[in-house]
Amino acid sequence: MGLVESVSLRSVLDSRGNPTVEASVYTESGGHGRALAPSGASTGEYEAIELPAEEAIAAAREHAVPRLEGRVFAGDQREVDSALRAADGTDDFSQIGANSAVAISMAAAKAGADVAGLPLYQHLGGAFRGRNFPVPLGNVVGGGEHAQEATAIQEFLAAPVGAPNVRDAVFANAAVHHEVSEILEDRGIAAGLGDEGAWAPPLSDADALELVAEAVETVADDFGFEVKFGLDMAAAERYDAESETYVFGDETRSTAEQVDYVAGLVDEYGLAYVEDPLDEDDYEGFAALTERVGDRTLVCGDDLFVTNTERLRTGIEQDAANSILVKPNQIGTLTEAFDAIELAVSNGYGPVVSHRSGETEDTTIAHLAVATDAPFIKTGTVGGERTAKLNELIRIADEA
Ligand SMILES: C=C(OP(=O)(O)O)C(=O)O
Ligand SMILES: [Mg+2]
């Protein structure tokens, strides 16, 4: 039925104007799936390797495609993904590229769904999937590696935790984005947009915190439900291993000071979410912060866990966090992203399915979040490659 007949690969544009890998999978029965790889800028040291698109395509054509065509069924995701692993033969997909791997993995899932005549979320989630929808975390202000001359903290994320449905949540985030723009205009602060479509104003972190707090309060009043906010500090990008300090703008902090600082922000601003507050090697620092504030906010590991079950297991053993960011291209296959979610959930960690700063019109992560009943999805606020996922969530909610 769903035997893979052919796999084709090409290089296309991503949202930063860089080449990325697109895969098409066709089955003998006429099923088809197409998927595109995203790309990070503030990548974790332990992520699977993204190769230059043309290199990844050539390597996958040579090593992976022959192991798939006529040999695996598109609907059998584990079989597809273990064929990709076997074809690559390394731990980090450095042979065929995690970008080729993830594009093929997601395209096969879509071809499997097509053969089964099911929407992707239903194919992935099965008959017993949950009925919840993820709360979208929407990047409204940002800097770090995603914009020049802007905040040191990478992302300020609206979190409409009280929204009654996914549509209202998505529109609340867009309203926060508009509100931020109005406040900036009133204060005469010119700002461009960062890679993810967030405002990138030349503000200190302290000023940006005040501004976003004001914007979410206004929108919460307008919409009549609770809208909080959170942060992705992307602290690994700000950690200087030699001096063992974090440098955020004009401020330099020791690890203990960084823990104090973040714990203070959680209480001062009622933060719903803090991602990568410490360096990607600092399980201990994460654990110290989680002990302090883990009962009232999500402490999420992105660069810390890189969607890798082994690193997540270490985190679980050390009580390092209570949440994991899930980016399929960090690990290379949908199977391993699923495994990370399953391990997280069974240990009380909340999975947050996530886009990358370099994105495409691909909507797989919206389906992945719904299929796994993930409590949160982080996929921007405005901009076509972000709204592709947000609008897909609204469509899924309408049809579910
Ligand atoms: C989405 C992020 O950025 P990037 O894709 O650049 O890693 C992130 O750090 O969570
Ligand atoms: Mg991050």
Residues 42 and 179 occupy one common structural domain: no
Instruction: Give the Å distance between the CA of 83 and the centre of ligand 1.
Output: 28
CA 122 to ligand 2 centroid distance, Å: 28
Whether 109 and 147 map to the same domain: the answer is no
Range of the domain at 102: 4-117
Q: Ligand 1, closest atom to CA 355?
A: 1
Q: Is the pLDDT of residue 1 over 80?
A: no
In this structure, are 182 and 280 located in the same domain?
A: yes
Active site residue: 50, 110, 179, 327, which one?
327
- Determine the pLDDT at residue 390: 98
Supply the pLDDT for residue 15.
Answer: 98
pLDDT in tens, 309-337: 999 999 999 999 999 999 999 999 999 99
Examine the domain organization and report whether 169 and 316 are in the same domain: yes
- Ligand closest to 304 (CA) is 2
The pLDDT score that the predictor gives to residue 216 is 98
Determine the atom of ligand 1 nearest the C-alpha atom of 275.
Answer: 10
In a domain, 150, yes or no: yes
Q: What is the mean pLDDT of residues 201-208?
A: 97
Per residue in 137-193, pLDDT tens? 999 999 998 888 899 999 999 999 999 999 999 999 999 999 999 999 999 999 999
In-domain check, residue 126: no
Q: pLDDT class for 39, splitting at 50, 70, 90?
A: very high
For the annotated binding site for substrate, the residues are 146, 155, 275, 302, 354-357, 378
Ligand at minimal distance from the CA of 280 is 2
Question: Annotated binding residues for Mg(2+), as ranges?
Answer: 232, 275, 302
| CA separation for the pair 284, 46 (Å, rounded) | 17
> Does 77 fall in a domain?
yes
- What's the N-to-C CA distance of the chain in angstroms? 26
Q: Is residue 124 part of a domain?
A: no
Residue-by-residue DSSP string for 322-359: SEEEE-HHHHS-HHHHHHHHHHHHHTTPEEEEE--SB-
Q: Is 196 one of the catalytic residues?
A: yes
Residue 205 shares a structural domain with residue 353: yes
pTM beyond 0.95: yes
Residue 213 lies in a domain: yes
Asked whether residue 19 carries a pLDDT value surpassing 80, the answer given is yes
Q: Which of 15, 231, 237, 302 to mutate to test the pocket of ligand 1 (most atoms within 8 A of CB)?
A: 302
Q: Is 110 a catalytic residue?
A: no
CATH number at residue 162: 3.20.20.120
| Cα-to-centroid distance, 365 and ligand 1 (Å) | 14
- What is the residue-averaged pLDDT of the chain? 97
pLDDT at 131 over 90: no
Q: Is 128 inside any structural domain?
A: no
Q: Are 239 and 368 in the same domain? A: yes
**pLDDT per position as a tens digit, 274-314:** 999 999 999 999 999 999 999 999 999 999 999 999 999 99
Who lines ligand 1 at CB under 6 A?
Answer: 40-43, 232, 234, 302, 354, 356-357
Looking at residue 178, what is its pLDDT? 98
pLDDT at position 400 over 80 = no
For residue 158, tell me if it sits in a domain.
yes
Q: Is residue 344 part of a domain?
A: yes
Contact 232, 151 (CB under 8 A): no
Average pLDDT of span 372-389: 98
Rounded to the nearest 10 degrees, the angle between the axes of helix 309-317 and helix 283-293 is 60
- Looking at the 3D structure of the chain, how many domains does it have? 2
Whether 151 and 280 map to the same domain: the answer is yes
- For residues 367-381, give the mean pLDDT: 98
In this prediction, residue 148 carries a pLDDT of: 87
Domain check: are 297 and 383 in the same one? yes
What's the CA-to-centroid distance between 356 and ligand 1, angstroms?
5
Contact of 177 with 244, CB cutoff 8 Å: no
Strands 19-27 and 4-13, sheet pairing:
antiparallel
How far apart CA 142 and CA 152 sit, in angstroms, is: 8
CATH number for 104: 3.30.390.10
Q: CA 40 to CA 46: how far, in whole Å?
A: 13
CA of 372 to the centre of ligand 2 (A): 20
Query: Which pLDDT does position 111 carry in this prediction?
Result: 98
Tokens 């099911």 sit at which residue? 118
What b-and-e string marks burial along 86-98, b requiring 16 or more CB atoms within 10 Å of the CB? Answer: ebbeeeebebbbb
Residue nearest to atom 4 of ligand 1 (CA): 40
Domain termination residue (choose one: 67, 84, 117): 117
What are the tens digits of pLDDT across the range 210-268?
999 999 999 999 999 999 999 999 999 999 999 999 999 999 999 999 999 999 999 99
